[in-house]
Amino acid sequence: MANCKVLPDIGHSDVKIEGNITIYQDKNGTGILYFDVELQGFDGPGLHAIHVHSNAVQGGDCSTTGSHFDLNEGVHGDPTSNIRHLGDLGNLKVSSDGTIKDYLIGDLGMSLHKTENGIISRSINIHAGADDFGMGGTPASTSSGNAGPRIACCTIYMQAVPIFRFNG
């Protein structure tokens, strides 16, 4: 299990987004990653792009996280497309009260283990706008989904899972 504590980007003092993303994968490190998202502080309802980025957050500055996580140097796309970055997770649908409690399913190519495709010590970014899944016909679309600036982010860390043993 991994955890990512989302905070506003230091360059966006008007943003109040915060919360937690917990990431699960079976213990042998194979299979799908599940991103359990619980965030609040959005201005209202709407879609906001969410991506795994290549680097950790430095000093609360989301721009330090590099490009979308991808081992194949591909183009941006829909999370269900065969052509996409590994870190392309799609859009979050924020409710009218400015919160989201939902889950996303990540790419089979990502792992919580310390491997080339591992996401520990990488980051998650929330963008100001919706992801167009590389269909916007511009260079920004095929690189980042035309999702706008990074307004909140977090670094992904392993979280210890307690093991309980009962005798009796």
Contact 135, 54 (CB under 8 A): no
Is 48 designated active site?
Answer: no
* pLDDT for position 167: 65
Please give the CATH number for the structural domain made up of 2-158.
2.60.40.200
The whole-model pTM stands at 0.92
3-class DSSP string for 3-15: EEEEEECCCCCCC
Question: What DSSP character marks residue 70?
Answer: -
% of the chain beyond a pLDDT of 70: 94
**Where exactly are the structural domains of the chain?**
2-158
Q: Amino acid letter at 119? A: I
**Please, which pLDDT band fits residue 143 given cuts at 50, 70 and 90?**
confident
Neighbours of 39 (CB within 10 A): 22
More confident residue, 29 or 81: 81
Average pLDDT, the chain: 90
Contact 84, 160 (CB under 8 A): no
Is 122 designated active site?
Answer: no
> Is residue 75 helix, strand or coil?
coil
CA angle 106, 109, 114 (to 5 degrees): 100
Tokens of 88: 């392309």
Contact 77, 107 (CB under 8 A): no
Is 88 designated active site?
Answer: yes
**Please, which pLDDT band fits residue 162 given cuts at 50, 70 and 90?**
low
First to last CA, the chain: 28
Q: Residue with structure tokens 């969410």? A: 50
Q: Which entry of 9, 48, 53, 84 is annotated as an active-site residue?
A: 53
* pLDDT for position 140: 85
Is 150 designated active site?
Answer: yes
pLDDT at 80 over 60: yes
* pLDDT for position 19: 98
pLDDT at 166 over 80: no
Is 85 designated active site?
Answer: yes
* pLDDT for position 168: 56
Classify the phi-psi angles of 95: left when phi > 0, otherwise alpha if psi is within -120 to 50, otherwise beta: beta
Q: Which entry of 48, 70, 84, 85 is annotated as an active-site residue?
A: 85
% of the chain beyond a pLDDT of 90: 62
pLDDT at 41 over 80: yes
